[in-house]
Amino acid sequence: MGRTLIQTCFIWLFVTIVLILVVLIPRGNPEVDRNLSRTEQAEQYREGITDFSWEAYRQNVTTLLQYAWEHKSLGDTIHTHSVEYEVWRYLKKSLWLIVPSFIISSILGVLKGIYDFYVKRRRFNVLGEKATVFFLSVPDFFLLLMIQVALITFADYGLPRISLYGSEAVSNKVVGITFLAIYPTFYIARLTYSSLEQQSTQDYIRTAFSKGTNRFKIVWKHMLSNCWLAVVSHLNTIMLYILSNLFIVELITSYRGAAYRFYKALRVRGSFTVGSPQSIDTSLVIEYIIVFTGIVLIVQLLSKLAAHQLLRRGGEAS
């Protein structure tokens, strides 16, 4: 098990370093001579950002490593505080979305999967497996827009108006958590249902059903205990879904969190604008890469540890 964890850490380190090296690729010289006319500045900018040299690339990497080693930081922002402070200030807001949505989707997903298994033989089970398949098939972006339109429409008919945009109100966090938890919930529901369906064909389960053993007892005591391994093994996938959707949710709802700030720092201007920053905020981008990949690493390690414990208990029980 220890070897597996070490391999996971090495893979994370390799991926993180590759991403950082991509960010450090020189994009030419975005600086322009302010004494020139606007047209001449734009032309100078276009020429500068198309230049590439390995010497400039090496200089970018060397400067980053030296500064980080000497100052134990990646630098300061334009607001004169450290990059680390800036990252943590926005990350705290995003954690209010990430952690609850991860927990809620894990719990509701298992319950939804059990419900789908219970009602699978009913003639009218619109809210069962069919609903799960539907929500897994519809694009996340479309669901978010439809929910926003529905809430705005309901408010026009007299229902309480919910604040959909921003990051300060409690409703902003509730809406963000709801959006982030939708797809992971139905993903886990599908996993749980498939695991229960597979176990229902086992001889000992069929024998228990034929003897008239309480269905609730069979599912919750015997079948569900064997589902945890499938669910735990996919926790890393769930976190990846949440983090990828976090960018969409924060941009659509104007939630000022880590994903929103990361997008702003990474944004590359395609045209020259006098007085505006023309290059990406390299230090912030690198910090956020480390943070987001670090979150995935932590969940992946916990997932592997939990799966290992479940396998050990299963082996001891047998």
The pLDDT assigned to 64 comes to 87
Q: Which two tokens stand for residue 89?
A: 């200030």
200-231 core/surface letters (b: 16 or more CB in 10 A; e: else): eeeeebeebeeeeeeeeebbeeebbebbbbbb
- Residue 315: phi, psi to the nearest 5? -70, -40
Q: How high does pLDDT run on average in the chain?
A: 81
The pLDDT assigned to 44 comes to 64
Q: Which residues make beta-bridge pairs with 271?
A: none
Q: What percent of the chain has pLDDT over 90?
A: 23
Residues 6+ apart with CB under 8 A from 176: 97, 101, 249, 250, 253, 255
The stretches of 200-281 forming alpha helices (DSSP H) are 203-210, 215-217, 228-233, 235-253, 258-266
pLDDT band at 203 (very low <50, low <70, confident <90, very high): confident
Q: Does 318 score more than 50 pLDDT?
A: no
| Mean pLDDT calculated for residue range 119-131 | 76
The terminus-to-terminus CA distance of the chain in angstroms comes to 20
The pLDDT assigned to 102 comes to 94
The pLDDT assigned to 132 comes to 85
The pLDDT assigned to 109 comes to 92
- With contact defined as beta carbons under 8 Å apart, do 260 and 250 qualify? yes
Q: How far apart are CA 148 and CA 142, in angstroms?
A: 10
The pLDDT assigned to 45 comes to 64
The pLDDT assigned to 136 comes to 84
What pLDDT digit, counting tens, does each position of 39-72 carry? 666 666 666 666 667 887 888 889 888 988 888 8
The pLDDT assigned to 275 comes to 46
Cα of 80 vs its chain's centroid, Å: 29
The pLDDT assigned to 213 comes to 66
Q: At what angle do helices 140-156 and 235-253 cross, to 10 degrees?
A: 50
What pLDDT digit, counting tens, does each position of 131-177 carry? 888 888 887 777 788 887 887 887 777 777 777 788 888 888 888 89
Residues 6+ apart with CB under 8 A from 65: none
Q: Does 210 score more than 70 pLDDT?
A: yes
Q: Which two tokens stand for residue 39?
A: 């047209």
Residue with tokens 């020189």: 26
Q: Does 99 score more than 90 pLDDT?
A: yes
Domains of the chain: 2-317 (1.10.3720.10)
Give the DSSP per-residue string, 182-215. HHHHHHHHHHHHHHHHHHTTSHHHHHHHHTT--H
- Residue 75: phi, psi to the nearest 5? 120, -170
- Residue predicted with more confidence, 7 or 157: 7
What is the identity of the amino acid at 318?
A: S
What pLDDT digit, counting tens, does each position of 233-277 carry? 889 999 999 999 998 889 888 898 999 989 888 875 555 444 444
Give the DSSP per-residue string, 67-116. HHHHHSSS-B-TTSSBHHHHHHHHHHHHHHHHHHHHHHHHHHHHHHHHHH
Between the ranges 77-91, 216-230, 278-292, 296-310, where is the mean pLDDT highest?
Answer: 296-310
